Amino acid sequence: MDTIVNELQNIGFTKYESQIYISLLKENPLTGYEISKLSGVPQSKVYENITKLLNNNIIINIETDPIKYVPINPNELLKSKKEEFNNSMDKLENNLQVLNKGKSIEYVLNIKSSKNILKKAIEMINNAKQEIIISCSHEEILDLKDELLTASKKNVNVEILLLEDKKIEGLSNIHIHGGNETTLKNKKLYKGILLIVDDSEILTGNLSEGNEAISIWTKNSNILYIGNQYIKHEIYISQKIKGGLKDE
């Protein structure tokens, strides 16, 4: 029951209102005294909360002696709450945008833990409209493979720069990182990731195990420029020297 009480509080109920509504769903009709006894709401508080629920059309009184109460159907309640929420969201979307006249701030967001970094990477990939450029190890690419395949099917250009000479089924624009054996070994140990989406946002850092991983995400134009120059240069070197790896 605690879980349901918490969820009802998330949609605007107080704790006492939640307990009263749940009690009436279990058994009805009930008097105020019976509601207090069944729900655990103190008798000194039960009637003021019953009044709030009546005013919000969440429960209904029955003209008996003494007066008894019944709850509205849960489906009816949830439908009403969804409509209220959607109406509020529509109004906020319009009204907040009117207020948003300030200059866009290109802040830098620090993201810790490999789980959160991958979550951000998935969000970026899912929102891509034109192009995804990503550099990381084969192991990390596999964690993002499904999202990259989906993006590719939506005609988003996907360019992948790998540290290893490996293929990824379903993805063709794969380039192999240049560099000597020591350089590549160090890069693999670092578990770096560089992801640029639509030339408008960048995620870069490392994917070390657990909470040691840290990356930054930003739309800052200067950081984007540096990231773009680096990864496109590496792709160019891959194509020029090694020919990359392309499936026909």
Q: How far apart are CA 174 and CA 159, in angstroms?
A: 6
Pair (125, 61) in one structural domain: no
Q: How far apart are CA 45 and CA 55, in angstroms?
A: 16
Number of domains making up the chain: 2
Average pLDDT over residues 3-12: 93
Domain that holds residue 55: 2-71
With respect to residue 170, please indicate whether it lies within any of the assigned structural domains.
yes
With respect to residue 167, please indicate whether it lies within any of the assigned structural domains.
yes
pLDDT value at residue 248: 38
71 cis-preceded (ω within 30 degrees of 0): no
pLDDT band at 167 (very low <50, low <70, confident <90, very high): confident
Pair (212, 153) in one structural domain: yes
With respect to residue 92, please indicate whether it lies within any of the assigned structural domains.
no
Pair (147, 63) in one structural domain: no
Q: How far apart are CA 4 and CA 26, in angstroms?
A: 13
Least trusted range by pLDDT, from 58-67, 87-96, 191-200, 203-212? 203-212
pLDDT value at residue 242: 59
- Dihedral in degrees, nearest 10, Cα atoms 202, 207, 211, 217: 0
pLDDT value at residue 188: 53
Domain boundary among 71, 97, 125: 71
Average pLDDT over residues 140-161: 92
Per-residue model confidence as pLDDT tens digits over 176-217: 776 555 555 555 555 789 999 999 999 999 887 656 789 999
Pair (222, 140) in one structural domain: yes
Average pLDDT over residues 156-172: 84
Pair (113, 57) in one structural domain: no
Phi and psi at residue 68, in whole multiples of 5°? -120, 165
Average pLDDT over residues 54-69: 93
